[in-house]
Structure 1
Amino acid sequence: MNTTKELNTAYRLRHALDERTHELPENVRERLSSARKIALSHKKSSVEAPVAVLQPAMAGRTSAFRQQGEGHGFAWLGRMSVLVPLAALVFGIVGIYQYEQHQQMLELAAIDAEVLTDDLPLSAYLDHGFDAFVTKGQD
């Protein structure tokens, strides 16, 4: 849309200049004409200059597949290059979460097994004095 505005402005400007050209002296018109020819020659030479374009290695192969009528070739590969790492990341995070949950369950089961196989009654573990005794005994 911006290019359209620029083109319209250029056309209006050119039209306004063309309307007033007959009022200019002859030597000024000749200088403007030669300057315009020089500018156009520079413009044409810059447009015709080759531009180096970096193409992926598979670019030629996909166009060959399209010419043979085998569909879109490897076009799906571009879409999958985003989805595959994203899926791997999600599965990795879910796997790590499941592993941590399993390890926590095993630790709690081991603590429960130790408490149940001990000779002390459960009420001893609830006593605040016993907790102080255990911490004092460890020092």
Structure 2
Amino acid sequence: MNNKELQFAYKVKMALDANLDNMSDDTLQSLAAARRVALARKKKAPLTVRVEQPVFAGALGAGGSMSSGQPSWLGRLGVAVPLLAGIILFAGIYQHENAKRVADLAEIDAAVLSDELPLSAYLDHGFNAYLAEKNQ
């Protein structure tokens, strides 16, 4: 529709809205029927689907083209390398934290074993009360 048709349609709509209360039932029914006929005649717009693809995925890949729809090997590598680096980073952090935890536990075990008290003293609830009084 061009601009003039849109303006005319808007004016008709405004006039119909303004006189809606004054129209008879027959007029309202004929307008509704005309609307149904107009909607049935209206051509349906073809369904289009937009697919967004990064510009560099097809342009930089060897043999890859923008119209093929398949990402090039360089595009796949651009996804795989950061993913692999992240997995290696998380595995390294896990190993470091695990080694740190083992070292802390070994230090505690060494302190307990090198102490003068027997191990059964640490299991006694009265000994915990004694330590609490001693620290106060």
Query: What TM-score do the two structures reach when normalised by structure 2?
Result: 0.48
Query: What TM-score do the two structures reach when normalised by structure 1?
Result: 0.47
More helix by share: 1
